[in-house]
Chain A
Amino acid sequence: MCCCLCPQEPAMKVPVSVIRLPRGPDGTSRGFDPNSPRYQALSPVSISTAGCGNEASLEREQQGRVALRERYLRSLFAMVGRTIHFTMYERVNVSAFFDASDIDILNFQVSDLQTPLGVHREALLRCSDIISYTFEL
């Protein structure tokens, strides 16, 4: 005897069920999963690490990338505490002591930044503003 469906009682409104919540950013990368079907189908294969090239060349390419990445990260370690000369956009050339980089290499933390306007004790340089930098070992 259950006629629990009473359209005359709007107070019985039931929230629509949801199977899960939308997935948010994973916090570790900018996304665009190279393993997704869309990426595999639409993306050019030339420099893709998940492309459908043969196994051996893929392996070699990945090893090359690993070696280059490791070298770069070690170069960042070598820079700590040294004076770095930065060439930046708008004909800006500055130098500073390098302290650290953030995990995505988007910002460099530097100290004693020498600029035409004076010396900044602590500063953050936006990496997208930097064209090149040099330092001596």
Chain B
Amino acid sequence: MRPSRASLSPSPPARSLFPPHAPRFPAALRLPGAAAAAAMAMRQTPLTCSGHTRPVVDLAFSDITPYGYFLISACKDGKPMLRQGDTGDWIGTFLGHKGAVWGATLNRDATKAATAAADFTAKVWDAVSGDELITLAHKHIVKSVNFTEDSNYLLTGGQDKLLRIYDLSKPEAEPQVVSGHTSGIKKALWSSDDKQILSADDKTLRLWDRNTMTEVKAINVAMSVSSMEYVPEGEILVVTYGRTIAFHSAETLEQIKSFEAPATVNSASLHPEKEFIVAGGEDFKLYKYDYNTGEELESYKGHFGPIHCVRFSPDGELYASGSEDGTLRLWQTTVGKTYGLWKCVVPEEEGGELAKARVSLPGTAEEELEDLTSENSDSIYSSTPEVKA
């Protein structure tokens, strides 16, 4: 439901130095952006994306495209959704699966989506029109799907313990099948420029060579792997199991380091600049750690159920979490910074000014962008109440 267009707080007169609800800052402290956020202690305001009716079990971001970046969420209600990545605005729902969707992914430029479901199929979708393009029948529940960089091949893995590689230009052709796992595959990812495959099941992490289709390396994991993320820059694999967040080399599978969280962790993600890790799990909380020192920096309550998946956005400015409570939440990496729908409140700025998070849309004039922002300048959360000296 769209919020009403009437402002919830009186809009300040143009260019007034002291709008009614903003704190009175001494002139020297009127700093925009992240500096002001640091100057005032800011509390994180997560953005809740509703729409799903059952637990959200997987989510993935696209790369940054000329139209911004996008987010797909997999849900047990069988209806994965595509959203604008920096605002969480719903774009569309992919209709067609007949069972819970366990995995979802986007190709790099978000023109295609792929989903893995409990109806024993993986589907490829046109992520611009929402149309179903290809249905790939499997012999059991499919858990994981992943595109190659050129979007030409799709890797799938699931409860039948087989990795399958489909050539998307010949979808009717039989896929290449790689066997070896002894329990259901939870996640399968391309790595090393699509020359290798990383896969995880209940007890092992395995590395496969794509050309020979044979196993290169396998390691045992102490407990059932709950999530896996591949970071190409630096060839790092982020794996979670039990309360452990572990980092392995994607080339050798050797462990680099690991942290322990206060509760069972279901998913973790590494910041693109490798400064932070975010993780979430069974205690409903999200944790942010310094990647280098392992120090817990921030933690947030907010979800009403266990967190199943967390991912950083491609620009690292926000991270998204999906939960058993059926919602997706977007969290700022730098709390208080103006980005997407978050706005740093400083006396000179008023509703309507928005620092665009993404490259401006081709063919859109500045005036049209202003119209877009002014239409949405509802102040949902009022700025700080006036504080007397």
User: What is the interface of chain A, defined by CB distance below 8 A to chain B?
Assistant: 1-5, 7, 9-10, 12-27, 30-34, 36-39, 41-43, 106, 126, 128
Measured CA separation A22–B376 after assembly (Å): 10
User: What is the interface of chain B, defined by CB distance below 8 A to chain A?
Assistant: 1-3, 23-26, 29, 37, 39-45, 47-51, 67, 81-83, 87-96, 98, 111, 126, 128-130, 330, 332, 335-336, 341-345, 351, 354, 361-364, 373, 376-384, 387-389
- List residues of chain A with CB within 8 A of the CB of B332: 16
Known: A2-B387, A16-B343, A22-B83. 17 other contacts (CB 8 A): A2-B388, A5-B23, A5-B26, A14-B383, A18-B342, A18-B380, A21-B3, A22-B341, A23-B87, A23-B89, A24-B50, A25-B90, A31-B91, A31-B130, A32-B82, A37-B362, A126-B98
Contact, CB under 8 Å: B129 / A43: yes
CB distance from B370 to the nearest CB of A (A): 13
Contact, CB under 8 Å: A128 / B98: yes
CB distance from A124 to the nearest CB of B (A): 13
Contact, CB under 8 Å: A42 / B111: yes
Contact, CB under 8 Å: A20 / B361: no
A20 in contact with B378 given A14-B43, A37-B364, A39-B129 (CB within 8 Å)? yes
Main secondary structure of the interface of B (DSSP, over half): loop
Main secondary structure of the interface of A (DSSP, over half): loop
Contact, CB under 8 Å: B91 / A5: no
Contact, CB under 8 Å: B378 / A24: no
Contact, CB under 8 Å: B26 / A19: no
A16 in contact with B42 given A31-B90, A37-B361, A43-B128 (CB within 8 Å)? yes
- List residues of chain A with CB within 8 A of the CB of B373: 19
Contact, CB under 8 Å: B128 / A39: yes
Please pick, from A2, A41, A106, the residue contacting B24 in the complex, using a CB distance under 8 A. A2
Contact, CB under 8 Å: A13 / B41: yes
Contact, CB under 8 Å: A20 / B92: no
Please pick, from B3, B26, B82, B362, the residue contacting A2 in the complex, using a CB distance under 8 A. B26
Contact, CB under 8 Å: B23 / A4: yes
Measured CA separation A41–B129 after assembly (Å): 11
A20 in contact with B98 given A2-B389, A13-B42, A32-B92 (CB within 8 Å)? no
Measured CA separation A53–B98 after assembly (Å): 36
What 10 pairs between A and B have smallest CB-CB spacing?
A31-B92, A22-B88, A32-B92, A32-B130, A4-B387, A2-B389, A13-B43, A16-B45, A23-B89, A38-B67
